[in-house]
A and B are shown apart, each in its own frame.
Chain A
Amino acid sequence: MRRLAPFVAAVLLLAPAAAASEHHPTLNELENEIMCPVCGTTLAQSDSPAAHAIERDIRARIAKGWTKSQIKDSLVRDYGEEILASPPKHGFNLLAWLLPLAGLAAAAAVLGVAAWGWSRRKPEPETVSPQSLNGHGPIDPELDRRVDEELARLD
């Protein structure tokens, strides 16, 4: 329950802002959510006459007290769904929201399966090399052989 506290706090903090944005939209925020129908950019980035005409309409509707949804619905009626900068979250357009999430989930699954496979792989038997007694790494086998030969000769 303690882990959920930050999420609950975030929802409680953001909910009033979202409600205010819905009931008292501003031209600035709508400019970033509505596309210019002739230039392929949002209204905020466009200086075309078509964009200015839509901004005038939005301003007039805000002045009349329309909500953000009402303004967007009316623009969709006039210009089609292409006028929205983000696709609506229903019907075929829902794919635009779900596919990136599905892609992320698939990538996470692939990584998970691969990591699981790597962690389960049996380690290959290591070749044992003679260790030096002073702890300074393995002794060169050739050197080891020559030392043995010299010692045998001394015996």
Chain B
Amino acid sequence: MKLRPARLALQALALAGVAGLLVLLVWKLTHDPGGGVAAQLSQGKRPQAPDFTLPRLDGQGSVDLAAIKKPRVIDFFASWCYACPRESRRLEKYSRTYAGRIAFVGVNTLDAGTDARKYVQRYALTYTIVRENGRKVLNAWGGLPIPRIFFIDRNGKVIGEMQAEEDLPRFLKKLALDA
């Protein structure tokens, strides 16, 4: 047996491996949102809201974000998160104030279903709560930490994320004018 064909085969294998890794790198760079909606907002952009369809926590069907044809607020939360109850209670209060004009959607993420249901019961939340298994939706919007609250206008553009306490009433007023 001559060594040359074997060496050529090994070199071809090594080249194929390197090419495969390059393809993976390009795929990652082109498909990774790179910080998601939150990163785009911090660059001053107003990105289109990534759509999602998630099952409701109460088991009564599912919710398609794009199908809601009015301004929306979405809040990513989990039962283990210390800062979440305060924001959930504020959202509950505002959801009553802006009922019919702004849709409020809580997205329970990285959480156990039973714990999430107890959370909703404990804080008496009446606005729509959906639940994601895993973290794909959360990552598309910017990932951890939570809570993360985003404001979406009636055309589906994300106009802001809550960074400070006063952002919530400010953005809600803006959305209500758009309604």
Interface size on A, residues (CB 8 A): 19
Flag whether B173 is at the interface (Cβ < 8 A).
no
A117 cross-chain contacts in B, Cβ below 8 A: 3
Q: Are B134 and A82 in contact (CB under 8 A)?
A: yes
Contact digits for A76-120, partner B, Cβ 8 Å, 1 yes 0 no: 011111100000000000000000000000100010010001000
Flag whether A18 is at the interface (Cβ < 8 A).
no
A16 vs B135: C-alpha distance when bound (angstroms) = 37
Total CB contacts across the A-B interface at under 8 A: 46
Q: Are B115 and A38 in contact (CB under 8 A)?
A: no
Q: Are A49 and B82 in contact (CB under 8 A)?
A: yes
B145 cross-chain contacts in A, Cβ below 8 A: 38
Q: Are B13 and A106 in contact (CB under 8 A)?
A: yes
Interface size on B, residues (CB 8 A): 21
CB nearest to A54 among chain B residues: B112
Flag whether B25 is at the interface (Cβ < 8 A).
no
Interface stretch of the complex, out of B29-37, B73-81, B155-163: B73-81
Q: How far is the CB of A50 from chain B (nearest CB, A)?
A: 5
Flag whether A52 is at the interface (Cβ < 8 A).
yes
Q: Is the interface of B mostly helix, strand, loop or mixed?
A: loop
Q: Are A53 and B80 in contact (CB under 8 A)?
A: yes
Q: Which of A49, A52, A82, A106 contacts B135 (CB 8 A)?
A: A82
Interface residues of A (CB under 8 A from B): 37-38, 48-50, 52-54, 57, 77-82, 106, 110, 113, 117
Interface residues of B (CB under 8 A from A): 3, 6, 10, 13, 78-82, 110-115, 133-136, 144-145
Can you show 21 pairs from A to B with CB atoms below 8 A apart?
A37-B110, A37-B135, A38-B110, A48-B80, A49-B80, A50-B80, A50-B81, A53-B79, A53-B80, A54-B112, A57-B115, A77-B133, A78-B112, A78-B133, A79-B134, A80-B133, A80-B134, A81-B134, A106-B13, A113-B3, A113-B6
Q: A50-B81, A79-B110, A113-B10 are in contact. List 13 more A-B contacts (CB 8 A).
A: A38-B144, A48-B80, A49-B80, A53-B112, A57-B112, A57-B114, A57-B115, A77-B133, A78-B113, A79-B111, A82-B134, A106-B13, A117-B3
